[in-house]
Amino acid sequence: MVFNNFRNLITRCGGLGNTFSMWLRANFKPFWAALQNIPVIKDVLNQFYLSALLKKFIKSVPRLPNHNLRNDFPSLYTVYDESRTTYSRLLPRQPEYTEGLPDLDLASSCFLRENFVPETNRNLSLLIGFYAQWFSHQFFNTNPEDHTKVNQPVGINLGQLYGSTAERMKSLRSGKLGLLKSSVRNGLEFPPIIPIPKDESGQNKIPIPGDEMFDIPFPMANSIPCFAAVHVIFFRRHQYVCRELAKWASANGKTMSDEEMYQKAKIIVAINVLRLTMHDYVAEGLQSSHVKIKFDHKVKKSLIWKFFGPGTYHPSNAIQTEFNFLYRWHQFIPEEIKVVKDLPVSNNQDMKALVPDIDKYDNDSLTFPDPDSWFGEDWNAVKWLTEKENGLERLIFSAASQRAGKLTLLNTNKWLVKNVIKPGMKKCREYELASYNDYREHFGFRRVKKFEQITTDAAILAKLKQVYKDVDQVEYYPGIFAENKDFGGVHGPFLAAIGVGMTYCGIFASRLFETDIFNEKTLTSKGVELANEINYIRDVTRMHTNLGEAKVHFTVPKNNPV
């Protein structure tokens, strides 16, 4: 029994070498911590880890894609898509495999939750799910009229904050001091608040509840108050950066045009987001490895990269559709989102003393509607953030004070299964994506030969066997979430490996890493200071909300109730 379990673990992890590497990095925390506290070794280790990681995935995630959702074959369009808005794909279409798949309702039931299963390996808070949603929409803002495309050029461009086209960007700008347009309610600054467009019958033209919405690049965030709250924080960050640059310029007798101020602020906020994402979201949140990845804009110019990296590493012009489905973490969301009724925001000591445990407080809640219905006005983001007292602070603190769900099968709310998961699986079949086993093989992992090599969870195992006639029929989308979460991970070993690979291939494909802009000449001395002052989500909540020193993290304390 023990031997079989060990053999299944090795297969699931992709071989003995991968298994040993995962085990090594997930253990010996004091050793790794001590090593990473030595400045020179810390930098070398970080550069080596990133260089080796990107070299490992350069063939599996090609810079110039061979396939895309538009064509079933390699084409010049894929190579020369300078719009950078077409979804690529890692493997060609598999029509014969797709034709034999089980009923869609049955297959999507693999995700359906009976009882909420919390994430306990990393003790993630619900806040990490809403940050992931906000951050990833610069990659996955799929065009509703053409699902082979995204609405903006892919990459670290913060299109979800600034817009993607020149016309949209211009519409959001104030034309003064680089600032974005804004509305002020109760003395607080928000993105512009506008009426929701109506059709001739008086119904909302877009599926957003209520009468008002924020004029932001991703309108559907107006139906998800916590998503909108994260957006507002980074909107305020941009405004703050512009005003600080203006103060610096005035004090130093410098002049900067609106355009220069706007562009400098965008670069600074992009650096802030990258630092926060790598230092907090990944290293402190998602990553079970004790070898922590840090932001280093010089890594591609280092000697370590020269000797251990992939060599030539061009910016990519595509985003993988497989990455889109990998990033659908709807299991994070519980059956109801609890929201504290009150916070002592006027007293910083009281805020600092708050325990991030949602069940210690009187709560309101956001509950999902019936699967055949849409969200009611209680989900309207403008109402939550501008009309409810301390609405933004309550949403953010509450999300940071309750556990996220485990990213596994049989753990997704029924509304999300019907309205998000099932349509997603339908798209996978329309795109004729290859099987879970085919993708394992593509990334150099062993093919699994039996269901027990995917998971030892009895309920998930039974469900997979009910839905799929054999292990080779398991689909990519449910397959990656079915895996055991080995070595204390948030993800299974295959999903973790390809997720990290595609994430960092995407981050380092950004043209931000091809230019020398991280200096005072480009950003000013004040700009460099602003770029380096954000490392954690608590840094932006402390500066741009009334949460002060409240404990806002992507994890909850280990002793919080499960």
Per the listing, tokens 């070398």 go with 44
What pLDDT is attached to residue 316? Answer: 62
Based on the fold, state whether residues 180 and 301 are members of the same structural domain: no
Per the listing, tokens 């079949």 go with 429
Structure tokens at 262: 């706007």
Based on the fold, state whether residues 160 and 205 are members of the same structural domain: yes
Structure tokens at 558: 């280990």
Q: Helix or strand or coil: residue 15?
A: coil
Q: How many domains does the chain have?
A: 2
Instruction: Say which CATH number the domain at 154 has.
Output: 1.10.640.10
* Cα distance between residue 131 and residue 128, in whole Å: 5
Q: Would you say 320 and 503 are in contact if contact means Cβ atoms under 8 Å apart?
A: no
Based on the fold, state whether residues 205 and 344 are members of the same structural domain: yes
* Residues in CB range of 349: below 8 A, 6 or more apart: none
Strand ranges (E), 360-452: 363-367
Based on the fold, state whether residues 342 and 312 are members of the same structural domain: no
* Cα distance between residue 67 and residue 81, in whole Å: 12
Kindly compute the dihedral angle of the four CA atoms of residues 526, 531, 533, 534, in this order, to the nearest 10 degrees: 150
What pLDDT is attached to residue 200? Answer: 86
Q: Is 381 exposed, middle or buried (0-12, 13-18, 19+ CB in 10 A)?
A: buried
Q: Is residue 436 part of a domain?
A: yes
* Residues in CB range of 507: below 8 A, 6 or more apart: 156, 274, 277, 278
Based on the fold, state whether residues 249 and 375 are members of the same structural domain: yes
Residue type, 159: G
* Cα distance between residue 449 and residue 8, in whole Å: 10
Short-list 375, 280, 274, CA closest to 333 = 375
What pLDDT is attached to residue 362? Answer: 94
Based on the fold, state whether residues 394 and 494 are members of the same structural domain: no
Based on the fold, state whether residues 127 and 169 are members of the same structural domain: yes
- Residue 330, marked binder: yes
Q: Is residue 483 part of a domain?
A: yes
Based on the fold, state whether residues 106 and 152 are members of the same structural domain: no
Per residue in 427-474, pLDDT (tens digit) is 999 999 999 999 999 999 999 999 999 999 999 999 999 999 999 999
Q: Is residue 48 part of a domain?
A: no
Q: Would you say 279 and 294 are in contact if contact means Cβ atoms under 8 Å apart?
A: yes
What pLDDT is attached to residue 80? Answer: 58
Q: Is residue 16 part of a domain?
A: no
Q: What is the 3-state secondary structure (H, E, C) of 508-557?
A: CCCHHHCCCCCCHHHHHHHHHHHHHCCCCHHHHHHHHCCCCCCCCCCECC
Per residue in 516-534, pLDDT (tens digit) is 778 888 899 999 999 999 9
* Cα distance between residue 331 and residue 117, in whole Å: 9
Q: How far is CA 475 from the centre of its chain?
A: 22
* Cα distance between residue 524 and residue 209, in whole Å: 43
Say if strands 193-195 and 183-185 run parallel, antiparallel, or are unpaired: unpaired
Q: Is residue 71 part of a domain?
A: yes
Q: Would you say 453 and 8 are in contact if contact means Cβ atoms under 8 Å apart?
A: yes
Domain that holds residue 144: 122-287+337-402+521-561
Q: Is residue 21 part of a domain?
A: no
Based on the fold, state whether residues 417 and 395 are members of the same structural domain: no
Q: Is 284 exposed, middle or buried (0-12, 13-18, 19+ CB in 10 A)?
A: middle
How far is residue 92 from each of residues 262, 478, 494, 497, 506, measured CA to CA in Å? 42, 19, 20, 21, 21
Q: Would you say 143 and 153 are in contact if contact means Cβ atoms under 8 Å apart?
A: no
Q: Would you say 561 and 118 are in contact if contact means Cβ atoms under 8 Å apart?
A: no
Q: Helix or strand or coil: residue 181?
A: coil
* Residues in CB range of 132: below 8 A, 6 or more apart: 281, 327, 329, 332
Based on the fold, state whether residues 189 and 102 are members of the same structural domain: no
Q: Is residue 104 part of a domain?
A: yes
Based on the fold, state whether residues 165 and 154 are members of the same structural domain: yes
pTM: 0.93
Q: Is residue 26 part of a domain?
A: no
* Cα distance between residue 66 and residue 337, in whole Å: 42
Short-list 132, 145, 19, 129, CA closest to 85 = 145
Based on the fold, state whether residues 92 and 142 are members of the same structural domain: no
Q: Enumerate residue ranges in the chain where pLDDT < 50.
A: none
Cα 347-350-353 angle, rounded to 5 deg: 150
What pLDDT is attached to residue 514? Answer: 63
What pLDDT is attached to residue 83? Answer: 54
Question: Where do runs of H (alpha helix) occur along 140-224?
Answer: 159-162, 166-172
Short-list 257, 237, 268, CA closest to 175 = 257
